A and B are shown apart, each in its own frame.
Chain A
């Protein structure tokens, strides 16, 4: 039998200096909880999980991305207010916006001990500018194509990946289609043609006449 996630978390934090690990609950009947690992120590933690003689999580089965959009949490706060010159306690709605993030999820199993899964997650700082995560390809070779796929479809940059290129979409493609706010183009076949230049020139010409 495998250790509980609490024991794994405690042992990992003891073994990897400064690692910050959070347990993520799962309300589904599957009960597969996961460990959120801070980005700085992700590679060290993965190496520990792989090499620790009790765990030996040597097989990284599934690597995937998840997009969590910005959320607005609505709460009601009691505020004292003057209503008709009498002080009253009034409930006021407050909106708190939580920033979204992109997540990479790794499902680890042990072929040596035949147990698992231990699920680890990494989170980016936000969805727009800071979408960097450390690559675990140096620890698990199986992450190579799967991290490339996440880069392709979600736009997470895996630092330290040996060959981070688009894999399923073509190289010239610009957006990230698996993101939740992705908008499909109106015309998939659109390509700039000389005709566009001509009509642009004509448009400029008409504008200059007015």
Chain B
């Protein structure tokens, strides 16, 4: 008897309601047995035309809406938008606000990477425990955000020319305490995951991304550096006050899922190296440039593109002003949308179970992918 299934491919639709797509994301996958032969991502389930809404709102009016892009990292979204408008209008930022921005961006990086590690492990079948450990740490940082801005996730904290308000009493001390305790959690997490045999088997050699393809496809952030390309916008552009801090840029060798995962673990430690001096050196002073007009703010006509190293990669805002109160063009360059370009290349030839791990290691948030 011959197998009638031989040579037949199976079409399956993974998502939009699939627990490991981290949101409403769909992949149309063709399978030969268990091996992926074709994969087409389908977007747009969360599309609300953020950019059109941005063009119909005032400059400041878009600030709270940037929180909803990558809803894990509202602080870095705020910073990227504020940075672009500051470029567009030529605004200076006071010293204390620059320190606060760096501190908040690195705290955001901590909680983003930690929750990504938790999600990735739960995708791999370590259901519950690692994710809860990760969320326990994330919760501490969210509490800090809440006491500073009033909201845990939708912070809406930065303004053009600075930050919305100063830190409440004792905030810096509690931040210092969390930063000081963080390495203990990291060591524990390291022991739990990094040399875990199942994790190694599931991630090593899976979804290899070559450096050339990564550069051509515009991959940014930890994913690019996992392929061994040394490109960190904090170092390259030196925006804000990053040149004052000493930190290393971790690089991977193989560009596989394991390297992408380890990039996050290593970047956590580098973020702590930035946070410690920043929290110690932060000067007193105003947190917002008093010359900036808040009501009917009109930047001069022209255009500007500003970008920062968000936890997921390069987050950029491209703004065109016609001299009015609304931007003529408001464009978000989302890192996780562009990072998905090579999803099919990574998945071809791997099993359908590996697709989960590969997608998890890219680190997407659908609020930003679909906008």
Q: Which residues of A contact B (CB under 8 A)?
A: 26-30, 32, 58-62, 64, 66, 105, 107, 111, 114, 117, 119, 140-146, 153, 167-170, 177-178
Contacts and interface: CB of A to CB of B under 8 A. Distances in A.
B300 A28 contact: yes
Nearest to B49: A177
B211 to A, nearest CB: 9
A145 B364 CA distance: 15
A119 to B, nearest CB: 7
Contacts of A144: 217, 341
Given A28-B300, A114-B231, A61 B314 contact: yes
Nearest to B304: A30
B334 to A, nearest CB: 10
Contacts of B371: 168
B337 A145 contact: yes
B259 interface: no
Contacts, number: 108
B352 interface: no
B89 A119 contact: no
27 contacts: A26-B302, A27-B300, A27-B302, A28-B87, A28-B88, A28-B89, A29-B90, A29-B302, A30-B306, A32-B304, A32-B305, A61-B220, A61-B307, A61-B314, A62-B316, A64-B318, A66-B320, A107-B333, A111-B231, A114-B236, A117-B305, A142-B338, A144-B341, A145-B340, A153-B51, A169-B47, A177-B52
B329 A66 contact: yes
Contacts of A62: 305, 307, 316, 318, 331, 333
Interface residues of B, number: 44
Given A32-B304, A59-B218, A178 B316 contact: no
B215 interface: yes
Nearest to B212: A58
Nearest to B337: A145
Given A58-B215, A58-B216, A140-B218, A29 B89 contact: yes
Interface string B54-92: 000000000000000000000000000000000111100
Contact of A178 (B49, B87, B229): B49
Interface string B333-354: 1000110111000000000000
Nearest to A67: B329
A168 B300 CA distance: 32
Contact of B318 (A107, A142, A153, A177): A107
With a 10 A CB-CB cut-off, give which of A26, A66, A141, A153 has the most chain B CB atoms: A141
With a 10 A CB-CB cut-off, give which of B220, B331, B333, B337 has the most chain A CB atoms: B331
A30 B84 CA distance: 9
